[in-house]
Amino acid sequence: MTHPESELTQLEHIPTRIFGNADAACMTVADAITHLIESRNADGKPAVLGLATGSTPVRLYRELIRRHKEDGLSFANVITFNLDEYFGLPGDHPESYRKFMQDQLFDHVDLKPENTHVPDGMVHREDVFASCQAYEEAIEAAGGIDIQILGIGRTGHIGFNEPGSAPDSLTRLVTLDSLTRRDAARDFLGEENVPRHAITMGVGTILAARQVFLLAWGEGKATIMAKTVEGPQTEAIPATFLQRHEGCSFCIDESAASQLTRIRLPWLVGRIEWTPEVTRQAVLWLAQKVDKPLLRLVDEDYTENGMADLLVEQGSAYDLNIHLFNITQHTITGWPGGKPNADDSNRPERATPYPKRSLILSPEPLDDVYCLGGTINRLKKHGNEVSIAYQTSGNLAVPDVEVRRAIELMIELGEERSGQEDLDYVKTVEAQLDAKGDFGADSTEIRQLKGLIRRSEARSSARTLGLETDALHFLDLPFYEEGRYRRFVAGERDTARMRELLETIRPHQIFATGYGNDPLSVPALSFEVLRAALAACAGSDWIKDCNIWLYKGPAQEWEAHEIDMAVPLSPSELENKIQGIYQHQTQRSQSPISGDKRVNNTWDLAREINRTTAELYDAIGLAEYEAMECLKKFTFDQ
């Protein structure tokens, strides 16, 4: 039974198109830009584009570059204005937005340099006002912006218009929100290096554009997306002011759309078909909404929450309750590798073969123990052949201070033992480190050393979980080794390396993550490499007998209805996992963010996430455990 689109989207104040993936959305926006350029060319007028930086528009820019190179799309008659720039960064700084635009677009198309405008981050403080005014005037002189491209920050910022920005604000100097600075910390190798101020077009400047496309990918944007599209207009979420713009539309992927009411709670906005999946989603939501155990839900709870037709279809609350209780109960297992010699008809994983070859894929060292430390420990204790493959080296996430410490140690050791050749090598690396400055790119040697530091941490962590170090595989996928954040491109060499590992291990179960993440992130690319490698293994026998279990990734967890396997952790198992996380010493200053939760370090957040899941199971009337790790079963036609 379907229902009109307008009914489903009744709570949405901005036209929002949901695409299967980011590339499909980018095609649509690239079409609009192409059309604009061509029609302006026909009129002999320039096309004026408002451009954004960040991970979000990178795929759009790649498509525009492709159209330029392959289809002859010319930018000779295009004028561009970028949204913002960090205050205090010169245009050639690796993290400046001017540099970003040169690398990601300008240097690859026939835009005239004088037609590209990015706010000047180096303007003197006393000249900022005049410079901002001049920026506004330049936009006006160009005829105003025809198409403005936007990303959205998790604060709800557009450009760097942080919460508190007025709808009529213009180009100006602003202070960055602490969440925004945390999100940029990785690019700047530490939050302390992220500039505190920026120059940004105002909300009013953006609203003056004739057409606006806001893009968003990945579940990290899902919460702010729902608030922006469905919530009231408020300075607390500047993006909500886009609701005022007639020519604004959002082009987002399914993950970024996942918190919209039409996806998350579709029964509240229309008549829907009660498939087993939606029923599960709805009943588990209901128990949490009315704060009752499943078995205590009554007919009124259903009827008062948009689920009266489900009751009619399914009989009574009692039947539904017990059905969902059983389904949820059967997700709990202390045997993530399957329980040998046990009836497995209601267990998440099959009993045979036993022992299993279990392969844990970790996009970077730390993801494994962080998300699955308890599960890995149990798999091993139960006698399975557990391997962990670290897909990338993770060397970009090692601060210089860590590598300097390692270098000093090696030099001291070399001097004491007078191994002159080794010493020369290490001193060369030290000189490279001295020369590179705060944001210079790491040399191959520095990256290698940083990668080795992470390997040693991974080994130490795996030992805590009961694994021998020969169970570890370091794939060092080339997309990462040869790339930088926001600039990764995975290819055939990555697939080949992944495939080789799969064919060597021939796993019965694979634990992976990255599905639904921002497509340019390390986990998402690692997942795409897995997808391609599995496709390449399609002819192999083992693959027919291989289950794929998805873990969600740091700082988040599956929602109740998505969990197909919940692995309980006792208090001591949880503490053992935390010990494993501690071993990743170079990552200790990372301060991950999870939704509204702000936690100061990785281990506290891991503990909190695993405990929260256990509390959820308890609250809906299942057994009360200390902590739980969760997995979702996956098949690749998804």
Which of 162, 349, 402, 629 is catalytic? The answer is 162
Q: Is 162 a catalytic site residue?
A: yes
Q: Which is nearer to ligand PGA, 153 or 202 (CB)?
A: 153
**Judged by CB under 6 A, does residue 105 bind ligand PGA?**
no
Q: Which residues pair with 385 in a beta bridge?
A: 357
**Judged by CB under 6 A, does residue 29 bind ligand PGA?**
no
Q: Which is nearer to ligand PGA, 54 or 478 (CB)?
A: 54
Q: Of 399, 505, 393, 404, nearest to 456 (Cα)? A: 393
How many other CB atoms sit within 10 Å of the CB of residue 18? 18
Mark residue 630 as left, alpha or beta (left: phi above 0; alpha: psi -120 to 50; beta: remaining).
beta
Q: Which is nearer to ligand PGA, 152 or 371 (CB)?
A: 152
CB of 152 to ligand PGA, least distance (A): 5
CB of 338 to ligand PGA, least distance (A): 39
CB of 176 to ligand PGA, least distance (A): 10
CB of 54 to ligand PGA, least distance (A): 3
The amino acid at 532: A
**Judged by CB under 6 A, does residue 153 bind ligand PGA?**
yes
**Judged by CB under 6 A, does residue 152 bind ligand PGA?**
yes
- CA 377 to CA 372: how far, in whole Å? 8
CB of 465 to ligand PGA, least distance (A): 33
Query: Which single residue is written with the structure tokens 């689109």?
Result: 5
Beta carbons within 8 Å of 74's beta carbon, 6+ residues apart: 37, 41, 68, 110
CB of 230 to ligand PGA, least distance (A): 19
Pairing of strands 547-550, 627-634: antiparallel
Q: Of 275, 261, 283, nearest to 1 (Cα)? A: 275
Q: Which is nearer to ligand PGA, 183 or 573 (CB)?
A: 183
- CA 544 to CA 251: how far, in whole Å? 37
Q: Which is nearer to ligand PGA, 229 or 533 (CB)?
A: 229
Query: Which single residue is written with the structure tokens 């690796």?
Result: 94
Q: Which residues pair with 149 in a beta bridge?
A: 213
Beta carbons within 8 Å of 100's beta carbon, 6+ residues apart: 53, 486
Query: Which single residue is written with the structure tokens 């795996």?
Result: 462
Residues counted in the chain: 638
Beta carbons within 8 Å of 401's beta carbon, 6+ residues apart: none
String of DSSP letters for 256-288 = TTTTSHHHHSGGGTS-----HHHHHHHHHHHHH
Q: Which residue number has the CB closest to ligand PGA?
A: 54
Interface pick for ligand PGA out of 151, 202, 306, 523 (rule CB under 6 A): 151
CB of 58 to ligand PGA, least distance (A): 8
Tell me if 269 sits within 8 A of 262, measured CB to CB: yes
Query: Which single residue is written with the structure tokens 């496309």?
Result: 213
**Token pair for residue 19?**
């695409």
CB of 142 to ligand PGA, least distance (A): 23
**Judged by CB under 6 A, does residue 104 bind ligand PGA?**
no
Q: Of 233, 299, 230, 243, nearest to 269 (Cα)? A: 230
| Total number of residues that touch ligand PGA (CB under 6 A) | 6
Tell me if 567 sits within 8 A of 378, measured CB to CB: yes
Site string for ligand PGA, 49-78 (x = CB under 6 A): -----xxx----------------------
Q: Which is nearer to ligand PGA, 24 or 76 (CB)?
A: 24
Q: Which is nearer to ligand PGA, 242 or 628 (CB)?
A: 242
Q: Which is nearer to ligand PGA, 55 or 305 (CB)?
A: 55
How many other CB atoms sit within 10 Å of the CB of residue 27? 14
> Interacting stretch for ligand PGA, rule CB under 6 A, among 141-149, 150-158, 268-276, 368-376?
150-158
Tell me if 380 sits within 8 A of 413, measured CB to CB: no
Q: Which is nearer to ligand PGA, 119 or 153 (CB)?
A: 153
At what angle are helices 571-582 and 367-381 packed, to 10 degrees? 130
Planar angle of CA 564, 570, 575, nearest 5 degrees: 110
> Interacting stretch for ligand PGA, rule CB under 6 A, among 138-146, 151-159, 290-298, 426-434?
151-159
CB of 151 to ligand PGA, least distance (A): 3
- CA 616 to CA 604: how far, in whole Å? 18
Q: Which is nearer to ligand PGA, 51 or 574 (CB)?
A: 51
CB of 100 to ligand PGA, least distance (A): 10
Beta carbons within 8 Å of 526's beta carbon, 6+ residues apart: 361, 363, 391, 392, 477, 512, 513, 514
Residues that bind ligand PGA (CB under 6 A): 54-56, 151-153
Which residues are identified as catalytic? 162
